[in-house]
Amino acid sequence: MTPSLACSRGFFALAAVVACLIPVAATASDARTPVSIELVLAVDTSLSVNDIEFDLQMHGIAQAFRSDQVIKLIGLHDGVAVTLIQWAGWVSEEHTVPWRLLTTPASIRAFAEEVERTGRDSVGRLTAIGTAIDAGLEAIAANRYAGRRLKIDVSGDGRSNAGPSLSMARRKAEARGVTINGLAVLTDDGALDAYFWRHVITGGSAFVIDAADYEDFARAIRIKLMRELAPEVSQRDRPGSHDHASYR
């Protein structure tokens, strides 16, 4: 065998080895942890929400995750991955609670503590619900989890008045199999829950829970989480329905 032929065979053998290794490396880097649910909590911090109301939202979410009902429901799943983002005219990562994997009461309570310590982000005066949905979709796409159910939980007290098209954001969520649920705070707009039903939520099991005001937020978010985390979700609620007795 000539030296040149030996070198050629060596080169092709090395190339074959490298070609075999590349898919393995790509698969390893793309590996995601399977979980039952990926949940984005998208919280309104626009101008209409004052600092006291922001604190009521954070305390309400933390209190909900500490409740025995929510802890029990999370325990029924093979892991629940959750993150919290703040939105208004845009979304900033500065005061985001990163993705956390909730599997045990200790991990759930640790997440609650993290939420309660979260400071307010100055993300603008306007209400861009489309921006909130887009940010939620990006957070789901970029994380290291593979959820069987994908959800974005949008809470707010006003109608979208800025940012990208809300209908387009919803269509993107539909295309990716992401359910959007809503929590409408009725302090300034008594018909906001109907607006959320028509223009914000999407998905076969999507629903809206309303809160009379921010003092009522803790109750509403607990009911909402219980429904989102339930093994089977029914669509019994419609605009104007306030019968949540079975979730209390």
Q: Which two tokens stand for residue 98?
A: 């990163």
Q: Are residues 6 and 111 in the same domain?
A: no
**pLDDT tens per residue across span 103-162:** 999 999 999 999 999 998 876 789 999 999 999 999 999 999 999 999 999 999 999 999
Residue 96 lies in a domain: yes
Residue 245 lies in a domain: no
In angstroms, the Cα distances linking 27 to 21, 22, 30, 169, 194 are: 10, 9, 5, 30, 44
Cβ atoms of 151 and 39 closer than 8 Å: yes
Rg of the chain taking only CA atoms, in angstroms: 22
Residue 152 lies in a domain: yes
Q: For tokens 């809206």, what's the residue?
A: 208
Residue 242 lies in a domain: no
The pLDDT, as a whole number, for residue 237 is 44
Non-local (6+) Cβ contacts of 93 within 8 A are: none
Beta strands of the chain (E only): which ranges?
33-44, 80-87, 97-102, 145-156, 178-185, 208-211
The pLDDT, as a whole number, for residue 62 is 98
Q: Are residues 89 and 183 in the same domain?
A: yes
Q: Are residues 14 and 60 in the same domain?
A: no
Residue 16 lies in a domain: yes
Counting the structural domains of the chain, the total is: 2
Beta-carbon neighbour count of residue 61 at 10 Å?
28
The pLDDT, as a whole number, for residue 232 is 55
Q: Is the pTM of this model over 0.85?
A: no
The pLDDT, as a whole number, for residue 198 is 97
Residue 166 lies in a domain: yes
For residue 24, pLDDT over 70 is answered with no
Q: Are residues 12 and 61 in the same domain?
A: no
Cα 165 from Cα 171, distance rounded (Å): 10
Q: Are residues 10 and 125 in the same domain?
A: no
Q: Are residues 92 and 25 in the same domain?
A: no
Q: Are residues 13 and 57 in the same domain?
A: no
Residue 118 lies in a domain: yes
Cβ neighbourhood burial of 6 (10 Å; 0-12, 13-18, 19+): exposed
Q: Are residues 119 and 147 in the same domain?
A: yes
Domain that holds residue 12: 1-31
**pLDDT tens per residue across span 166-203:** 999 999 999 999 999 999 999 999 999 999 999 999 99
Cβ atoms of 52 and 94 closer than 8 Å: no
Cβ atoms of 88 and 44 closer than 8 Å: yes
Q: Are residues 134 and 144 in the same domain?
A: yes
Beta-carbon neighbour count of residue 78 at 10 Å?
12
The pLDDT, as a whole number, for residue 37 is 97
Signed CA dihedral, 142, 70, 66, 48: sign only: positive
CATH value at residue 38:
3.40.50.410
Most distant CA pair in the chain, distance: 87
Q: Are residues 124 and 1 in the same domain?
A: no
Cα 227 from Cα 180, distance rounded (Å): 13
